[in-house]
Amino acid sequence: MSRFKFVHAADLHLDTGLTGLEEAAPEMARAVREATLAALDRIVRLCLEEEASFLVLAGDVWDEADRSLVAANRLRDALAELARHGVPTFVASGNHDHDGGWRPRMEWPEAVRFFPPGRPASYPVIRDGRELARVWGVGYPRREVRENYARLLRRDCETPYAVAVLHANVGGQPGHDAYAPASLEDLLAGGFDYWALGHVHTRLELRASAPAVVYPGNTQGRNPREAGPRGCYLVEVEGRESRLRFVPTHGVEWRWLEVPIDALEEEEGLQQALLLAVEEAAAELAREGRGLVALLRLTGRGPLDATLRRPGFTGELLEELRRRTRGRRPPLWIGRLERVTRPPRPLEALAEEASLEGELARQVREALAGGGAVERFRHALEPLYASPGLARHLAGAAEAGLGEELQEALALVLDLLEEKRLQRAGGGAP
Ligand SMILES: [Mn+2]
């Protein structure tokens, strides 16, 4: 039984930025752009350190619209380095690096294989004169591919281990164009051991094994929607089994940091709590040599809610936090400060009100006291329990848990009513 490793990456978008930081934080924007290139270097190092037998790149390696000679050069040099060490690379293009677009013409090493646009091909991986694996794939002839390319790929010859490389939207993943749309069933019908997908920028293991179906996500986040670690997969193969290991490659991390205001009394403490959250995250990432774009979100309920709703206050606070964290290495930038806070809730006072909120507050209080409210709600929910699909989900909450669920639900309704009221009062959301 043969054992080997390979590396799967996608959506490198080499030498691209579009972070929204270009004006406010040009240095950080540059750092993110540079990090897309550094991620490629990390992938090369990973291949060499782990003695990977091959590398697959599943599309959007660069952005055609950016026409970057830098990206093409860096890619060629990186893959040539792998080729010198006997590591072949298999590249399937995607919507951003489709064949119809302009690209710098380069000399590529023989060990670098680009799948032809619009029709499937396969290449063997040979080790010690024996076929170790075979890699199938198909590239994009133009930006908008609406055909189901997954159905073009079939394990149509004998090989010990079969990989399919495709840039596609599998299973209608939201937030991404429906290019080369396919269902998971289409993929399973192909008979492969591993589907190396690209296109969805968020890491997603659609199946862990037999076959593994994996979106590694992009190698460097470029905006708040791409928060958290970004990287590639190191796949350890034994026979036809694949063991998946995610390896981070990002040089700058976009990270949401939640800071609750519940225990805070003064503006000074608020500022310190925010700075502490930023400094902790920055220090943690700096130990790995990574920069940070902090995305702050104030949550919870407390007296400072009123301050935070003052016109212009969060903007001023954000500027002040930025001023206090300037000039760091690795780079640090506070990208956002959002407020989703609420005023403190005086349940007892609310329960005295002759309003819908007052009635709900009395219900919450009664449920908290273990009164008849739980029984009444259970009665009201009976039709739901009669539905076999729902009953399964409700079973867990049925006995001891219902009181708690009820409290939460009522608290949520109160929150929604309150937010509406605050908006009407003119405080508004920032
Ligand atoms: Mn992409």
- Residue-level pLDDT at 102: 80
First-last CA distance in the chain: 61
- In the predicted structure, residue 370 carries a pLDDT above the cut 90: no
Is residue 18's pLDDT more than 80? no
Residue 219: alpha-carbon gap to chain centroid: 10
Using one digit for the tens of pLDDT, what is the confidence trace for 389-411?
A: 777 666 655 555 666 666 667 77
Per-residue pLDDT, averaged over 294-309, amounts to 95
Ligand 1 centre from 168 Cα, in Å? 10
- Span from the CA of 118 to the centroid of ligand 1 (angstroms): 18
For residues 145 and 162, what is the distance between their CA atoms, to the nearest angstrom?
A: 24
The pTM of the whole model exceeds 0.95: no
Contact between 249 and 220 under an 8 Å Cβ cutoff? The reply is: yes
Distance, in Å, from the CA atom of 23 to the CA atom of 201, rounded to the nearest integer, reads 24
pLDDT value of position 429: 45
As a whole number, mean pLDDT of residues 70-92 equals 96
The tokens of 306 are what? 């009123």
> Does residue 299 surpass a pLDDT of 90?
yes
Give the three-class secondary structure for 264. coil
pLDDT the model gives residue 399: 53
Ligand 1 centroid–CA 57 distance in Å is 12
Helices (H), 127-234: 184-188
Q: What is the residue type of 9?
A: A
| Sign of the alpha-carbon dihedral angle for 269, 275, 281, 286 | negative
Query: How far is ligand 1, taken at its centre, from the CA of residue 171, in Å?
Result: 17
Q: What share of the chain has pLDDT > 70, as a percent?
A: 92
Whether the per-residue pLDDT at 428 is higher than 60: the answer is: no
pLDDT of residue 108: 94
By the CB criterion, residues less than 5 angstroms from ion ligand 1 are 11, 60
Residues 6+ apart with CB under 8 A from 72: 62, 103, 104, 106
Distance 96 CA to ligand 1 centre (A): 7
Q: What is the pLDDT of residue 348?
A: 76
CA of 359 to the centre of ligand 1 (A): 51
Of 10-19, 213-222, 337-346, 415-424, the one with minimum mean pLDDT is 415-424
What is the DSSP secondary structure assignment for residue 401, as one 8-state letter?
T
pLDDT band at residue 426 under the 50/70/90 scheme: low
DSSP for residue 368: H
Angle at 327 between CA 325 and CA 328, to 5 degrees: 75
For residue 199, report the distance from its CA to the centre of ligand 1, in Å: 5
Band (376; pLDDT cuts 50, 70, 90)? confident
Mean pLDDT in the chain?
Answer: 90
Enumerate the β-bridge partners of residue 139: 117
Q: 412 or 288: whose pLDDT is higher?
A: 288
Minimum mean pLDDT range among 207-216, 301-310, 345-354: 345-354
Cα(386) to centroid of ligand 1, in Å? 45
Which residues lie closer than 8 Å to 235 by C-beta, 6 or more apart? 5, 6, 7, 8, 194, 212, 242, 243, 244, 245
pLDDT at 7 over 90: yes
Label residue 373 by pLDDT band (50, 70, 90). low
Q: How many Å lie between the centroid of ligand 1 and the Cα of residue 151?
A: 21
Which of the pair, 415 or 82, is modelled with greater confidence? 82
Residues facing 248 on adjacent strands: 231
Give the model confidence (pLDDT) of 103-140 as tens digits: 888 899 999 999 999 999 999 999 999 999 999 999 99
